[in-house]
């Protein structure tokens, strides 16, 4: 019966992923079958932690996050949780030997959002690592299937990809982060005087991350390469739209990629993969 419970919990994480992110869901669906469940479980965990600090404004966020953290470590230690998201996550952590240090860094970044509203250089780098790069490393643990040399070789590229994704999110959401959450993530940037020059500087930094990440994507195992490449294509397309938009546009609207474009990326990426062009 425990296997039925575990499968039900895994399906909860899959549902969460599909409800919150069409782009990541599409990428996961083209992974090899054995990789899908663990990546859904990682996404469900990070999404719920992020919801606590970003969405639950009418509740005691610190209490909820502290409880979530304690429940996470208890689930990993005991190998079970009555929280479906944490039960499916602990299965992945224990099966794939995901380091507690990665989880600790992630939860610390979530906690930082409760206390910091402006991120200067050191805090910014720490936040990017904990909120995004370690998520890439958790997924890489799954992708590499216990091959430590492969993991260590690909880890820098996974960090760059996570960093690029997060920075694009920051740039896309710069208005809502400031208006709703009173946050400014980019160091030295004043939202009230945000300029095209500021935007170009941030974009140059993001491009470096994407360029470095792509080297690693081409070296990923075939079981996950297409899915990761698909997420990369979605984000680079979003990034292209942001770069083409004037500064005034991103300060007044949330730039998106149409669902029809995402479907196009799915088929075009599959063709490139079949032809060995990734």
The predicted-structure confidence for 164-222, as pLDDT tens digits, reads as follows: 999 999 999 888 877 777 788 888 877 778 888 888 999 999 999 999 999 999 999 99
Give the helix/strand (H/E) hosting 167. helix 148-172
Q: Domain of 28: which CATH number?
A: 1.10.600.10
Give the model's pLDDT for residue 265.
75
Give the model's pLDDT for residue 174.
85
Locus of tokens 């509203």: 117
Give the model's pLDDT for residue 104.
98
Give the model's pLDDT for residue 207.
97
Give the model's pLDDT for residue 261.
81
Residues of the chain with pLDDT under 70: 1-2, 275, 277
Cα 182 off chain centre by: 22
Whole-number Å distance between alpha carbons of 180 and 183: 8
Whole-number Å distance between alpha carbons of 140 and 155: 7
Whole-number Å distance between alpha carbons of 234 and 39: 18
How many domains is the chain built from?
1
Cα 239 off chain centre by: 15
pTM of this prediction? Answer: 0.92
Give the model's pLDDT for residue 236.
95
| Structural domain range at position 16 | 2-274
């Amino acid at each position: 019966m425990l296997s039925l419970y575990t499968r039900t919990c895994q399906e909860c994480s899959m549902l969460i992923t599909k409800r919150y992110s069409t782009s990541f869901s599409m990428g996961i669906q083209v992974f090899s079958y054995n990789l899908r469940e663990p990546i859904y479980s990682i996404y469900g965990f990070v999404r719920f932690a992020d919801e606590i600090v970003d969405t639950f404004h009418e509740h005691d966020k610190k209490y909820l996050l502290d409880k979530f953290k304690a429940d996470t470590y208890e689930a990993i230690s005991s190998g079970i949780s009555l929280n479906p998201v944490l039960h499916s996550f602990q299965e992945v952590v224990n099966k794939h030997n995901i380091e507690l240090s990665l989880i600790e860094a992630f939860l610390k970044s979530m906690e930082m959002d409760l206390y910091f509203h402006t991120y200067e250089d050191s805090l910014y780098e720490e936040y990017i690592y904990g909120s995004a790069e370690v998520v890439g490393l958790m997924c890489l643990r799954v992708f590499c299937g216990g091959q430590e040399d492969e993991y260590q070789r690909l880890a820098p590229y996974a960090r760059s990809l996570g960093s690029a994704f997060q920075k694009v999110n920051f740039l896309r959401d710069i208005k809502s982060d400031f208006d709703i959450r009173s946050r400014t993530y980019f160091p030295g940037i004043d939202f009230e005087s945000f300029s095209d020059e500021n935007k170009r500087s941030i974009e140059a930094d993001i491009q470096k991350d994407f360029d470095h990440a792509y080297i690693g994507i081409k070296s990923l195992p075939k079981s996950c390469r297409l899915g990761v490449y698909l997420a990369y294509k979605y984000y680079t397309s979003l990034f292209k739209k942001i770069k083409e938009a004037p500064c005034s546009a991103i300060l007044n609207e949330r730039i998106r990629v149409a669902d029809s474009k995402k479907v196009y990326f799915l088929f075009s990426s599959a063709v490139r993969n079949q032809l060995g062009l990734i």
